[in-house]
Amino acid sequence: MLILAGLGNPGPQYAHNRHNIGFLAINAIARKWSFGPERSRFSALTAEGSIDTPQGPVKALLLKPQTFYNESGRAVAEAMKFFKLTPADVVLFHDEIDMAPGRFRMKTGGGAAGNNGIRSLTAHIGPDFRRARMGVGHPGHKDRVQGHVLSDFHKVEQGWVNALCNACADALPLLAVGEDEKYQAEVMRLAPADKADPRKGARGDD
């Protein structure tokens, strides 16, 4: 079984923030794979279902912590303990300011790089979970980062945001069987994005 978790803040006022692209990816996965209805559990909104793979169905729990971004680790830890899983069974979808908008990278382990949601997960379950890093660009100066991630995507960005989230859902069988590098490649094939400087700002549709 896998836990597919997204980073984000609860509530409609945050729903379209850059910080919530992890939630948007989880929503796309739920639609694509017809997961069950959402229910409140583990201090989170969760849904259960399975992902069809060539090796057979893989059970998964979708999880959107309702603890606010910086305390997300608590919800993930509760679910992991209940299902007796390891950090390798956890995939976290999250925004990444040090990658150009629309870029995507998989990574296992490592530091938090200033991301308080990652820091929270590391504090609760250790660093060795799998990270699905979704580029949202950098505002250009560290003093502007908080405003950047807590602001909504511009209308011109909606094309690549939707394409990236849908690609994360469409390529999911590769992730489900542990083929993280192939998953990364397939997501980028389905939703290609330029290797731009993340500090150049939002990328429009092209």
- Residues acting as catalytic residues: 19
Q: Is residue 58 a contact partner of residue 176, using CB atoms and an 8 Å limit? A: yes
Please say whether the beta carbons of 11 and 68 come within 8 A: no
DSSP states of 35-46:
----EEETTEEE
| Alpha helices, DSSP H, located in the chain | 21-32, 72-82, 116-125, 145-149, 158-170, 172-176, 180-190
Q: Looking only at Cα atoms, what is the longest distance across the chain? A: 48
Judged by DSSP in three states, 205 sits in coil
Cross-strand bridge partners of residue 63: 5, 46
Determine the angle formed by the axes of helices 158-170 and 21-32, rounding to 10 degrees.
50
Question: Taking the CB of residue 100, how many other CB atoms lie within 10 A of it?
Answer: 21
Residues whose CB is less than 8 angstroms from the CB of residue 90 and which lie 6 or more positions away in sequence, other chains included: 2, 3, 5, 76, 80, 121, 125, 129, 130
